[in-house]
Homo-oligomer: A and B are copies of this chain.
């Protein structure tokens, strides 16, 4: 049987996440008190801690939703990349960046990133590292795809290049979420400018 218990569990998970997402957005991460999340989700404080190790893990669950969507969207670009190295990179990175503020505010990103460095061994910390790795590998996969298409030189170390591009983009994204005034368009332009050096070096 599907089980009453299992259904209630899934339902409570959902209610907690929804309540938290709403309050995080409205009041900010610190402003959203656990008691308030519990009240909104109609569970007790203790129950929240039965589902999530700590407040950060709740945010982590929301971040994972976001990044997984982005990874899915990225697949399409890797499968059928634009026939030009610069555009291909820009398209993939564009997806990452444009999607980033859909569920999460900058403040939520800041907290999420902070927690993932602060507690790298927590469930969320590990999940976050895994998501970063997945993004890195997706960029690497794009490079390899472009090599297969004869658009990128064969002697390029695809994995190393993927890391380089992801790391740079990610640091730029961190700086982006740190400044509330920073605009997505500027971020994309800056990353494009940096990648231009690489594109010149690796294009056939």
- Interface of A with B (CB < 8 Å)? 110-111, 113-115, 117-118, 120, 125, 129, 156-157, 160-161, 163-164, 166-168, 170-172, 174-175, 177-179, 190, 193-194, 196-198, 200-202
Closest to A133 in B: B175
Q: Is the CB of B197 within 8 A of A157?
A: yes
On chain B, the residues within 8 Å of A113 by CB distance are: 114, 117
Query: If the complex has contacts A114-B115, A171-B171, A172-B167, are A156 and B120 also in contact, measured as CB distance less than 8 A?
Result: no
CA distance A172 to B118 in the complex (A): 16
CA distance A202 to B201 in the complex (A): 8
Interface centre among A117, A156, A160, A168 (most CB of B within 10 A): A117
CB distance from A35 to the nearest CB of B (A): 22
**Contacts A110-B118, A113-B117, A164-B164 supplied; 20 other A-B pairs, CB < 8 Å:** A110-B120, A111-B118, A114-B115, A114-B117, A117-B117, A117-B178, A129-B175, A160-B194, A160-B197, A163-B194, A164-B198, A166-B171, A167-B170, A167-B171, A167-B172, A170-B171, A197-B201, A197-B202, A198-B201, A200-B201
